[in-house]
Structure 1
Amino acid sequence: MVFHEVLRIMYLVQIITGVLGNSFVIFLYSFKLSTGHKTKPIIIFLIHFLFTNIIFLLFRGIPKIIDVWEFNYFVDFTTSKIISYLQRVSRGLSLCSSCLLSVFQAITISPRSPIWVEVKARVPKYVLPCCLLCWIFNLLVDIVVPVYGTGLRNRTHSKERWQIGFKALDLYPTKTVMFLVWKFVYDSAFVVLMAISSGYMIFVLYRHHQQVQNIQISSVSHKSSPEVRATKTILLLATTSLSFNLMSSMFMIYMTFTKVASPVMIHVSGLLSLCFPTLSPFILLNSDFQITRFSCIH
């Protein structure tokens, strides 16, 4: 079947490209961090963001590859619970780290008022605690996945079960629907926060552009500052993340309320969810002049 062959190639290309791309950019940022005079919070957030992308690609993509390539595998009930649990956690981590990155940059470019100056001074102290809380929250929120998941006797999809990893969620019990709705609300909170911070960054950039136009400056000063370039990059990442997450969620919402787990919709939703972690390292490479220059030299 042509659709099945296309799925095989697309999943394989996404996983290999995404893992290698994120790993390469992590190496470049780590080198930049080790050779810098001081630790920059934005780089730590970016490394954490790229690392969660790798985790998501592996736990989300490998079960899909095993499924569509029809490899012979044996996973016991306990192992299937753990894998499915980590798969859901990794998705939450990817979304949460994108939100942290967007909020941090919004604070960074905020006006130089006394309140914001104090907040900016405290932000570097909370970088690692924020990353740690991101992990703790997602590990706790998705603990119900092993509880309501059921083992798959075979690898066929049914209209009553929605496969996640090596397990399936029965769409008919009320508890399962409640969990899916709660998970949607939880993810939506990060999406809304990311949208607000992105909108705020757009407002600040627009105001900055207006100020530049009203001031007589030399041609050299027309170049964007590193802060503005970083903001545009984070804004592009946030917009891309919002777009792919919303498109992927539309299929999940439809399957939840219609109680029909269509194999085509499941695979389309899976491919869309893998697009952002696959593309994000290349967005960073294309937008960050210093990293691009370093990669060309070395």
Structure 2
Amino acid sequence: MDLRDLLKAITTLAQNVIGIPANLAVLLVFVHIARAERRLLPADIIVSQLVFVNLVLILSRGIPQSLSALDYRGSYNTATCKFLMFTYRTTRAMSIPLTFLLSAYQGVTITPSSSRLYSLKPWLSRCLLPLSLLFWLLDGGTSYSSILYTSQIHNITFSALTLNLGYCLVEFPSEESYFAIGVMSLTRDTCFILLMVLSSLYILLILYQHCKRAKGIRSSVQSQGSSAENRAAKTVVTLITVYVIFFGIDNLIWAYTVTIGKVPVVMNDVRVFFSTLYATVCPVVVIVSNKRVNRKLRCDKFAQDSQSKETTISTVSVKFPTF
């Protein structure tokens, strides 16, 4: 195994080892909350969809990529390759509108009740399911090239427009199709990215105004609720910032590959790494910043500590009775 394959194996395995348990843990937390409380908040519904999409993305791309980097090619036929590639493309595309939807909802949540945007909050809550279905149809419909041009690895000489994933091939028939599909995907994603950036700027503006008004206020219930909303808003801004950075690197590499005749293999490896990195980082940000999720994940430890303390107190009360 050469240095390139070694680095590829290490990075993809790291993404799998971190991303799969993290996304699965957050998803199970929301499943537990839904069963215990019989409902989920709109923001929790969006985040649970986002981590589900991230989990499927890593499973459909990360695991085959890791096995390929470890020189295990597997027995992927053309149908399996088409399924894996279509699933990856669709879920990767879905992470963008879902992050935008989360930022839009968080923005109207923290906006002052006197603002016209505040009236969008109940509308967004009611339309989460239709909007999600619309995004799935949009992203699935614009990922059709994965079905058309993906095939199993064969012994025919690859063209300059062939993307060799190591376990499957994506073969574009012409430069025009390669460029057209790339522009279509870039336009779709960029529109949501721009909306994402605008909503994050609005959130930052509202947070700044809240900070100015909340100076000197520390103990009221209203300020505590506002603080929780502000923490959630800051988490959303962090997710957007991370996504924009990874999206920018991914598409700068794509733009570079369009301008040259033959794409270096290492460039495709770097692009694949950044295209899936958000799916690994996103749940980690949620676990660290979302106190509700963090508390649920640590509940077993707290329960054990509490049980230990109760046993100690019981023992002490026997030895030293109170008169």
Q: Secondary structure at the match of 2:48?
A: helix
Structure 1 residue 107 corresponds to structure 2 residue 108: yes
Larger deviation, residues 224-233 vs 65-74: 65-74
- Rounded Cα–Cα distance in structure 2 between residues aligned with 1:26 and 1:36: 15
Q: Is the 8 A contact 2:160 2:262 kept in 1?
A: yes
Q: CA RMSD in A?
A: 2.4
- Rounded Cα–Cα distance in structure 1 between residues aligned with 2:22 and 2:53: 13
Structure 1 residue 121 corresponds to structure 2 residue 122: yes
AA in 2 matched with 1:267? D
- Rounded Cα–Cα distance in structure 1 between residues aligned with 2:245 and 2:45: 25
Q: Secondary structure at the match of 2:194?
A: helix
Q: Is the 8 A contact 2:109 2:118 kept in 1?
A: no
TM-score w.r.t. the length of structure 1 is: 0.90
- Rounded Cα–Cα distance in structure 2 between residues aligned with 1:4 and 1:39: 43
Q: Is the 8 A contact 1:169 1:176 kept in 2?
A: no
Deviation at 1:160, TM superposition (A): 3.6
Match in the other structure for 1:153: 154
- Rounded Cα–Cα distance in structure 2 between residues aligned with 1:11 and 1:157: 24
- Rounded Cα–Cα distance in structure 1 between residues aligned with 2:218 and 2:102: 33
Q: Is the 8 A contact 2:150 2:168 kept in 1?
A: no
- Rounded Cα–Cα distance in structure 1 between residues aligned with 2:178 and 2:160: 15
Structure 1 residue 287 corresponds to structure 2 residue 268: no
Please point out which of 265, 282, 296 is paired with 1:263: 265
Deviation at 1:114, TM superposition (A): 6.1
List alignment gaps of at least 5 residues for structure 1.
none
Match in the other structure for 1:278: 280
String of CA shifts for 1:89-116, please: whole Å, max 9, x gaps.
1211122222221122112222213633
Match in the other structure for 2:234: 232
Q: Secondary structure at the match of 2:127?
A: helix
Q: Secondary structure at the match of 1:45?
A: helix
Q: Is the 8 A contact 1:60 1:87 kept in 2?
A: yes
- Rounded Cα–Cα distance in structure 1 between residues aligned with 2:289 and 2:43: 15
Count, aligned residues: 296
TM-score w.r.t. the length of structure 2 is: 0.83
Deviation at 1:38, TM superposition (A): 4.7
Q: Is the 8 A contact 1:59 1:90 kept in 2?
A: no
Match in the other structure for 1:176: 178
AA in 1 matched with 2:172? D
Deviation at 1:63, TM superposition (A): 2.9
String of CA shifts for 1:34-53, please: whole Å, max 9, x gaps.
33375311111110010000
Residue identity (%): 24
- Rounded Cα–Cα distance in structure 2 between residues aligned with 1:155 and 1:209: 63
AA in 2 matched with 1:276? Y
Deviation at 1:184, TM superposition (A): 0.9
Deviation at 1:148, TM superposition (A): 3.9
Q: Secondary structure at the match of 2:43?
A: helix
- Rounded Cα–Cα distance in structure 1 between residues aligned with 2:73 and 2:64: 12
Structure 1 residue 167 corresponds to structure 2 residue 151: no
Matches within 5 A, 1:137-148: 137-148=138-149
CA gap 1:35/1:111 in 2 versus in 1, 3 angstroms? same
| Structure with larger Rg | 2
- Rounded Cα–Cα distance in structure 2 between residues aligned with 1:70 and 1:194: 39
CA gap 1:154/1:94 in 2 versus in 1, 3 angstroms? farther
Structure 1 residue 133 corresponds to structure 2 residue 134: yes
CA gap 1:149/1:115 in 2 versus in 1, 3 angstroms? same
- Rounded Cα–Cα distance in structure 1 between residues aligned with 2:249 and 2:228: 32
Deviation at 1:12, TM superposition (A): 1.2
